[in-house]
């Protein structure tokens, strides 16, 4: 990998010259100091480290930097500047869908991927869409409700 | 971090690594031949759990020839780097494979995990490999100098032991188009999402004009390798459904003798009982 890894991070063109075997999660948190992406299990079980790569939800703990050469990565830091985030933020707040908050960056990006694919999802589609994002506080019902509210209130954004 | 801000380029204090990215199949095969120690990396969802510090990867996730799904008269040809999500969305994907892919892990893993990785990782719990075993699919194994088509049932030589030369890559999976519509699939896991199979079962019963043309049962998660026993399945081939019904208990007994599960997170006895229950249900769902 002589030339380094080129990728887009939240709209910025990046050249990463570190180890291609490094985890995207670690690079985001430790090298770029973007700590919105949380480290939960480091084995793809919890979804706290979810980011969006080329439009698809991904566990950044299972992504080697070498595999994202040429890709686009969106983290919660980038997504939180969007109107879609504002709609989700408001919907989550309206039903108190956030308790400790550790799962929420991943949960919000999972919500985005659900709504981007299906602007008016069924409850089953929402539950499937967040099935890899574990939350130990809420019991999920408030989160499911919030995504449904965002779909209604944010109609037209997705 | 402000979105428009130019972020600093990260500098690593780790030594230069041996990992390489392939942009085409030719390049991938050349790199594989020159560096047989490289670990083929398609989606990374198994490899990165281990995340070995000394690993050197051959990144294959963007090799166009390994991302294609095509169909000819006989086979659906899935590129080995195709992700489970890609398969779920493809109109070419048969029902049995789609059903299995929908039950693998969760959306984020399905977006990254590949069929080639699932097969090449060599786990007896590999949910898509089970389907390729049940359907007697073929692997196209290619090196810089040669190419061969191998039935996946001959690919697993033992626990994590593959019939794969150091310079070969799994490039495509060739799944038969015909005779796989009548299927039975059950994954038994501890939960609905992110479940590792405790036992997984796939069955094919191809009945034409009342005669069984093909019967195949595949058991996953019970031992070192996925189990397919053609010699037992042949008991029912060429028989009418009525004749097969008369042979039902003999068929189940043969599997009962042959299947010796190992204990893992669940006991061997539990696995055995689940296998037998699923086998019986497979037959009964086909009126046998």
pLDDT in tens, B165-181: 999 999 999 999 999 99
Q: Which domain holds residue A15?
A: 5-75
Confidence bin at B17 (pLDDT 50/70/90): low
Same domain flag for A101 and A141: yes
Q: Are residues A68 and A88 in the same domain?
A: no
> Is A115's pLDDT higher than 70?
yes
Q: What percent of chain A has pLDDT over 70?
A: 99
Report the pLDDT value the prediction gives residue B13, as an integer from 0 to 100: 37
pLDDT number for residue A149 = 98
Instruction: Report the mean per-residue pLDDT for chain A.
Output: 96
DSSP bridge partners of B172: B79, B140
Q: Where are chain B's structural domains?
A: 5-59, 64-176, 183-284
Q: Is residue A158 part of a domain?
A: no
Question: What's the pLDDT at A2?
Answer: 52
Question: What digits encode the pLDDT tens for the residues B202-253?
Answer: 999 999 999 999 999 999 999 999 999 999 999 999 999 999 999 999 999 9
The correct answer on CATH 3.40.50.10610 for the domain covering B183-284 is no
* Architecture label for domain B64-176: 2-Layer Sandwich (3.30)
Mean pLDDT of B30-35: 97
Tokens standing for residue B163: 């019939």
| CATH number of A89's domain | 1.10.150.120
pLDDT, position B12:
38
Both A96 and A64 in one domain: the answer is no
What's the rounded mean pLDDT across residues B86-102? Answer: 98
For residue A45, the chain B residues in CB contact (below 8 A) are 194
Mean residue pLDDT across chain B: 93
- Last residue of one domain, picked from the residues A75, A98, A120: A75
**Shortest CA distance to B1 belongs to which of A111, A83, A25, A35?**
A35
Q: How many domains does chain A have?
A: 2
What is the structure's pLDDT at B227? 97
Query: In chain A, how many H helices and how many E strands?
Result: 6, 5
**Whether the predicted pLDDT of B2 surpasses 50:** no
Contacts of A57 (CB under 8 A, 6+ apart): A50, A51, A109, A110, A113, A132, B107, B108, B111
- The answer on A143 and A126 residing in a single domain is yes
CB pair distance less than 8 Å for A21 and B53: yes
pLDDT tens for A12-38 read: 999 999 999 999 999 999 999 999 999
- Chain A hits for B17, CB-CB cut-off 8 Å, are 1, 19-21
Q: Is the pLDDT of residue B6 over 50?
A: no
Strand partners, B79: B172
* Alpha-carbon torsion, ordered A36, A42, A48, A54, to 10 deg: 80
CB contact under 8 A, A18 and B62: no
pLDDT of residue B265: 87
Which of A75, A90, A121 terminates a domain? The answer is: A75
Does B15 have pLDDT greater than 50?
no
Put simply, whether B35 touches A (Cβ < 8 Å) is: no
Residue A24, helix vs strand vs coil: helix
CB pairs under 8 A between A and B: 142
Which of B3, B8, B62 has the CB atom closest to A81's CB atom? B3
pLDDT above 50: residue A87: yes
């Amino acid at each position: 990998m002589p030339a380094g890894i080129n990728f887009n991070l939240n709209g910025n063109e990046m050249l990463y010259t570190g180890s291609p075997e490094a985890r995207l999660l670690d690079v985001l948190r430790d090298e770029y100091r973007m700590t919105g992406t949380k480290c939960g299990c480091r084995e793809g079980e919890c979804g706290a480290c979810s980011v969006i790569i080329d439009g698809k939800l991904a566990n950044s703990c299972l992504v080697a930097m070498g595999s994202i050469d040429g890709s686009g990565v969106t983290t919660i830091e980038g997504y939180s500047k969007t109107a879609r985030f504002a709609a989700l933020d408001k919907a989550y707040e309206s039903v108190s869908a956030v308790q400790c908050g550790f799962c929420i960056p991943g949960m919000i990006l999972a919500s985005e991927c659900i709504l981007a694919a299906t602007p008016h999802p069924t409850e089953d589609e929402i539950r499937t869409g967040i099935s890899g994002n574990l939350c130990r506080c809420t019991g999920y019902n408030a989160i499911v409700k919030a995504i449904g509210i965002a779909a209604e209130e944010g109609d037209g954004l997705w | 971090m402000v979105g428009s801000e130019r972020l600093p380029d990260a500098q690593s204090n780790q030594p230069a690594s041996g990992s390489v990215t392939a942009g085409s199949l030719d390049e991938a095969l050349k790199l594989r031949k020159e560096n047989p120690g490289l670990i083929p990396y398609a989606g990374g969802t198994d490899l990165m759990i281990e995340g070995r510090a000394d690993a050197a990867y051959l990144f294959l996730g963007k090799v166009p020839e390994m991302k294609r799904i095509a169909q000819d008269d006989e086979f659906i040809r899935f590129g080995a780097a195709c992700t489970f999500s890609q398969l779920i969305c493809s109109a070419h994907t048969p029902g049995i494979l789609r059903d299995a892919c929908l039950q693998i892990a969760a959306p984020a893993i399905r977006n990254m995990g590949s069929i080639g990785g699932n097969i090449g990782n060599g786990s007896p719990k590999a949910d898509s490999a089970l389907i390729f075993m049940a359907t007697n699919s073929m692997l196209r194994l290619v090196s810089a100098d040669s190419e061969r088509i191998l039935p996946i049932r001959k690919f697993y030589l033992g626990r994590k032991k593959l019939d794969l030369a150091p310079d070969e890559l799994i490039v495509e999976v060739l799944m038969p188009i015909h005779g796989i519509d009548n299927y039975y699939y059950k994954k038994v896991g501890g939960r609905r999402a992110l479940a590792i199979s405790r036992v997984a079962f796939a069955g094919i019963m191809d009945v034409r004009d009342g005669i069984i043309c093909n019967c195949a049962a595949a058991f996953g998660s019970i031992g070192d390798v996925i189990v397919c026993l053609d010699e037992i399945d042949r008991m029912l081939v060429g028989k009418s459904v009525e004749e097969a019904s008369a042979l039902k208990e003999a068929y189940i007994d043969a599997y009962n003798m042959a299947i010796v599960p190992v204990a893992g997170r669940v006991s061997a006895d539990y696995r055995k009982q689940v296998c037998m229950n699923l086998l019986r249900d497979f037959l009964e769902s086909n009126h046998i």
